[in-house]
Amino acid sequence: MKPFAFVFPGQGSQSVGMLDAWGDHPAVVDTLREASDALGEDVGRLIKEGPKEALGLTTNTQPVMLVAGVAAWRAWRAEGGELPAAVAGHSLGEYSALVAAEVLTLADAAPLVRFRAAAMQEAVPVGVGAMAAILGMDAERVKAGCAEAQATFGAGSAEVVEAVNFNDPAQTVIAGSKAAVDKACEVLKAIGAKRALPLPVSAPFHSSLMKPAAERLREKLAGVALAVPRFPLINNIDVAVESDADRIRDALYRQAFGPVRWVECVQAMQARGIGTLIECGPGKVLAGMTKRIDASIQGAALYDPATLAEAKALLA
């Protein structure tokens, strides 16, 4: 079998009914039951019925995306799917990867990501922070444009804007205070960005404004048991593989207010001889990014029985 990796998506790929195509697959049913027990609510019903607005609340989105990724992973394994050469997750998706690599149990991960989501939402009031996707410009120019925009507010200003998600060579997400993000969008379009799209999110994720949330998360992580990964997991914040529990905790703490270095994560997998990345969970966002980062790597998706069969055939 060709060397391959599983990658897990983060917020933004959720949708009402996203697990319906699995039907009564035992691995998916068991995953939903386990997560529901851990959270004290019917997660399966929330995913199946929504409404969309409820699913879009950060405190719900993070647990349901965790569950959707783990459900697809467990279905893969239940159907005889081989272990990957490595795993990684985009932003929140790193927690799904940690469960797949058996670093975290789902019973521990589900309440942990809900806590993480609540801490992030409470760190910056709704409407104070913002995020935007900058298209058609390389990351270094985006960073320079953010610095130029922030400088317009003067030294000592509380306004902040930073590049936080390096998604592909021509797509970088920025985040920070709303006024600074709006100003950065103006600056970046003026210096050549094709588009600057405000994102419908409730907090400026991965920016330095998330530091208070990260401090709360660090305290929570101290009480969570972490095991040695069963296979390599490339983290977002350092593009590194860690096996020590304290180093994994520290990376998760810093990930909450640091950038998602996704381009480098994909390049690191390619450097390991991995030629296929399978997006494990709803949507095809990461599969699309893979092709734009390195056209030599195959990107595929696994989110229902049909795509599971396609992924098996791709790797045969």
215's tokens: 């401090």
* CA–CA dist 14, 43 (Å, integer): 13
User: What DSSP designation does 209 have?
Assistant: G
Catalytic site includes residue 25? no
* CA–CA dist 103, 107 (Å, integer): 12
Q: Name the active-site residue from 91, 96, 177, 202.
A: 91
User: Do 59 and 117 contact (CB within 8 A), yes or no?
Assistant: yes
How many Cα atoms within 13 Å fall on the side-chain side of residue 150? Answer: 19
Which residues 6+ apart lie within 8 Å of 144 measured at CB? none
Catalytic site includes residue 202? no
Which residues 6+ apart lie within 8 Å of 249 measured at CB? 218, 221, 222, 224, 226
Q: Name the active-site residue from 25, 177, 202, 206.
A: 206
Strands (E) located in the chain: 4-8, 86-89, 129-135, 161-168, 171-177, 195-198, 276-280, 298-302
* CA–CA dist 180, 161 (Å, integer): 6
250's tokens: 């520290």
75's tokens: 């279905």
Angle at 99 between CA 245 and CA 41, to 5 degrees: 120
Active-site annotation, residues: 91, 206
